[in-house]
Amino acid sequence: MLTLTQSISEKIKKAFRDAGYDESFGQVTISNRPDLCEFQCNGALMAAKQYHKAPIAIANEVAAKIEDGYFASIEVAAPGFINLKIADQSLLSYAKGMFEDEKFGFEPQGAGRKVIIDYGGANVAKPLHVGHLRPAIIGESIKRILSFDGYDAIGDVHLGDWGLQIGLIITELKRRQPDLPYYDDSFTGDYPKEAPFTIADLEEIYPYASKYSKTDDAYREEAKHATKLLQDGHRGYRAIWQHILDVSIEDLKKNYDNLNVHFELWKKESDANAYIPEIIEDLKAKGLAKIDEGALVVDVKEETDTKEMPPCILQKSDGAFLYASTDVATIYERKKLFDPAWIIYVVDKRQGLHFDQVFRTCKKGGLITDSTKLTFLGNGTMNGEGGKPFKTRDGDVLRLEFLIKSIVDKVAERMADSDIPADEKKKICDMVGLAAIKYGDLSNQATKDYIFDIDRFTAFEGNTGPYILYTLVRIKSLLQKLGVDESFDCGEALGSQKGVSESEKKLWLALSGFPDAVRKAADEIAPHKICTFIYEAADAFNSFYHDNRIISQEDAQIKNRWIALLKLVLGVVEKCVDMLGIKVPDRM
Ligand code: ARG
C-alpha cells in the first residue's frame, strides 16, 4: 500500500504528465505551512529551470489537470507552489486502508535480510552504570524498528568478559582466599560447582581491586599477568572466570529484563578469541599486518583522510591481544555464523576511531565484503544537571539502578494522590518511570548529548513518556466506557464523512503519517522520528478530545467513526511505543 504522500504524489505526477511536463516534478510533501495547506508540491519551481517558463504558469497548467474530487482545495501560490488540502472522503478512505493492513499501511523492506545489532556492551563483574543506558535503549529500539521493517533483527549483548577486570578479580581473590584450589597448580581434581563469591561480593571486589591497582604497580602487573594466563588457558583461572560469568550473567539478565531490553544473543568477547590466530596469519600472508615497534599492526590510513588515523593494533609486543583484535575477530565470526547483510554498533561515540580502524581492517583484509554493511551509530552522552557527566558524590560513575530508582521515586511522588491500590501502583510507577527515561532519551537524536532532566522527563504534560502513556490510557478507558469490543467494524464506520470537524481531520491526517514516519525511522535508524510522530499524534488526539464530547455524541454515524478513530490512534501509537521498547499500563 502506498503512503498517503506517495498516493497524492501519484496524482500530481499524472497532472504534470498530462500538462506535458516530466512527472518527476510531481513529488508532494507534507506542508511546512499547515496554516495554508496540508500538502504541497514545489515541482513547478524546479521545472521552470528545465522548461524556461515562469513557475507560476507551469503550476497553473498542472493544477488545471489535477483529478477532481480527491482534494478539498487546490491552490497555486506565488512564485509557483501547488497547495493542497485533501477531501475528508479521500482521507477516510486512506484510513480504511490502514485498518485493513496488518502494519497500518507500512510496507516492510527488510525481508530476507539479517541485521545484527551490537548494543549491550556490559562488562561481566561490573554493574551496569549510566553509560550503558543509552546503547541499551537506542539499540533495543532500533532492533524493534528494523524487525517491524521485516528484517531478521538479532540483538547481541557482546559482553566484555576478557579484559583486565577478570585479572584484577583473580588477583584480589587470591589475596583474600589464597587456599582456594584454583590457585594450586598441583590440583588436578574437579573444581567446586559453586562460585566462591556472590554478585554482591563481585561488586565489592572489582572496584576495590581496580582502585588498589592504581596505587600498587606490582599488584597491577600481577593482574595483567593473570589476565594473560587466563587467555592462554590456565585451568584454575578459567574456572574462576566461568564462575564470574555465571554469577554476572544471571544478574545482568535480570537488570536488562527490568529495562525491557532483551538480547537474542549473549555472545562474549572471548567467543571471538579462537579466530584471532587464523585472522592474524591471513593478514600477515596478505602483507597487511606488519610489525611496528614490536607490535603487530595494520595500516588503515586512506588518502582522503582529513583526520589522523593511527594503525589498528592487533597484538602487543608481549603477545597480548587487544580490544581491536577482538572486534575484528567478532566481525569475522558474525560473517561466518550468520552472514548478516548489516551489522550496526550502538556504542558511545567516543569509540568512533576504534570502529573506524576495525571496519577498515576487516574491509582491507577481505574479512568482510560489500554484501555486509557496517554501521557505527555513536551515541552521545547523557549528562546530569548543568550538562556535567553523571557521577556519585564520591566522583564514581553512577550505577544504573540508582538512576532508575530516582526517576521512579519522582513518578511515585507525582502519583501520590491516586487511589490505585499500592501493589498495582508500584508496578505502574515502574512502567511510567521507565517510559520517562526511555522517551526522554529516544526523543533526542541518538548522536547528540542531552541533559537528563528528572523534572521535565517525569512531567505528565509536554513531550514526555508519561504524557504519551497517559494519552494511551485515556483512550483505552474511553473505548471501555463506550463498550467497544473486537467485533466493531472500523471499515464500515468510516463510510460516513458527516460532520468531520477541523480537529478530527487533523487527527486522521496525523495518523496517516505513520507509514512515512516509520519508513524514515528505519532508513535513517533514527528512533527520534518515531517520537516526533507519536507526539504529533498524541497532541492531535488531545485537541480532538478537548473539542468533542465523544461519549454523549448522539449521532450514531459520527459516534461510530469516532470509535474507529480512537481505535486507530490506539493501534498506531501503541505500535510506535512498542518500537521504543516502552510498555503501556492499563490505567494510571
Ligand atoms: N564493553 C565495551 C565497553 O564497556 C563496549 C562494547 C561495545 N561493543 C563492541 N563490539 N566493542 O566499553
Residue 230 lies in a domain: yes
From ligand 1's centre to the CA of 222, what distance in Å? 24
* CA dihedral sign of residues 504, 507, 509, 514: negative
- The finding on whether 160 has its CB within 6 A of some atom of ligand 1 is yes
Q: Can you give the residue range of the structural domain that contains 249?
A: 164-258
From ligand 1's centre to the CA of 159, what distance in Å? 7
Choosing from 128, 165, 351 the residue with most ligand 1 atoms within 8 A of its CB, the one to mutate for a pocket test is 351
Tell me the pTM.
0.95
The residue whose CA has the least distance to atom 10 of ligand 1 is: 327
Domain boundary among the residues 258, 280, 306 is at: 258
Q: How many domains does the chain have?
A: 2
pLDDT in tens, the chain (588 residues): 999 999 999 999 999 999 999 999 999 999 989 999 999 999 999 999 999 999 999 999 999 999 889 999 999 999 999 999 999 999 999 999 999 999 999 999 999 999 999 999 899 988 888 889 999 999 999 999 999 999 999 999 999 998 899 999 999 999 999 999 999 999 999 999 999 999 999 999 999 999 999 999 999 999 999 998 998 899 999 999 999 999 999 999 999 999 999 999 999 999 999 999 999 999 999 999 999 999 999 999 999 999 999 999 999 998 888 999 999 999 999 999 999 999 999 999 999 999 999 999 999 999 999 999 999 999 999 998 888 888 777 777 788 888 999 999 999 999 999 999 999 999 999 999 999 999 999 999 999 999 999 999 999 999 999 999 999 999 999 999 999 988 899 999 999 999 999 999 999 999 999 999 999 999 999 999 999 999 999 999 999 999 999 999 999 999 999 999 999 999 999 999 999 999 999 999
Per-residue pLDDT at 15: 98
Residue 11 lies in a domain: yes
- H or E element that contains 473: helix 465-481
Per-residue pLDDT at 388: 84
Domain boundary among the residues 225, 241, 258 is at: 258
Compute the distance between CA of residue 356 and CA of residue 375 in angstroms, rounded to an integer: 10
Residue 404 · residue 390 · CB < 8 Å:
no
In DSSP terms, 379 is beta-bridged to 348
Residue 141 lies in a domain: no
* Residue 166 main-chain phi, psi, to 5 deg: -70, -40
Residue 573 lies in a domain: no
- H or E element that contains 147: helix 133-148
Identify the CA nearest to 164 among candidates 216, 213, 129, 218. 213
Residue 226 · residue 237 · CB < 8 Å:
yes
DSSP letters, 377-425, are EEE--EE-GGGPBPB-TTSPBPBHHHHHHHHHHHHHHHTTT--S-HHHH
Domain boundary among the residues 242, 258, 274 is at: 258
- The finding on whether 127 has its CB within 6 A of some atom of ligand 1 is no
Question: In this structure, what C-alpha cell is assigned to residue 504?
Answer: 478530527
From ligand 1's centre to the CA of 119, what distance in Å? 8
* CA dihedral sign of residues 127, 579, 521, 367: positive
Per-residue pLDDT at 319: 84
Per-residue pLDDT at 396: 76
Per-residue pLDDT at 320: 82
Per-residue pLDDT at 422: 94
Identify the CA nearest to 264 among candidates 155, 186, 188. 155
Residue 247 lies in a domain: yes
From ligand 1's centre to the CA of 135, what distance in Å? 10
Cell numbers 499547515 label which residue? 34
- The finding on whether 333 has its CB within 6 A of some atom of ligand 1 is no
- The finding on whether 158 has its CB within 6 A of some atom of ligand 1 is yes
- The finding on whether 327 has its CB within 6 A of some atom of ligand 1 is yes
The residue whose CA has the least distance to atom 2 of ligand 1 is: 121
* Residue 373 main-chain phi, psi, to 5 deg: -85, 135
Identify the CA nearest to 568 among candidates 100, 148, 109. 100
Compute the distance between CA of residue 127 and CA of residue 377 in angstroms, rounded to an integer: 24
Choosing from 118, 138, 325, 346 the residue with most ligand 1 atoms within 8 A of its CB, the one to mutate for a pocket test is 118
The residue whose CA has the least distance to atom 8 of ligand 1 is: 121
Residue 29 lies in a domain: yes
Choosing from 347, 349, 362 the residue with most ligand 1 atoms within 8 A of its CB, the one to mutate for a pocket test is 347
The residue whose CA has the least distance to atom 6 of ligand 1 is: 121
The residue whose CA has the least distance to atom 12 of ligand 1 is: 121
* Residue 584 main-chain phi, psi, to 5 deg: -110, 125
CATH number of the CATH domain containing 45: 3.30.1360.70
From ligand 1's centre to the CA of 347, what distance in Å? 7
Q: How many CB atoms lie within 10 A of CB 293?
A: 6
Q: How many CB atoms lie within 10 A of CB 81?
A: 22
Compute the distance between CA of residue 446 and CA of residue 308 in angstroms, rounded to an integer: 25
Residue 469 · residue 584 · CB < 8 Å:
yes
Residue 514 · residue 487 · CB < 8 Å:
no
Compute the distance between CA of residue 520 and CA of residue 516 in angstroms, rounded to an integer: 6
Identify the CA nearest to 278 among candidates 240, 236, 314, 234. 314
Per-residue pLDDT at 421: 96
Residue 220 lies in a domain: yes
DSSP letters, 441-468, are HHTS-TTS-EE--HHHHT-SSSSSHHHH
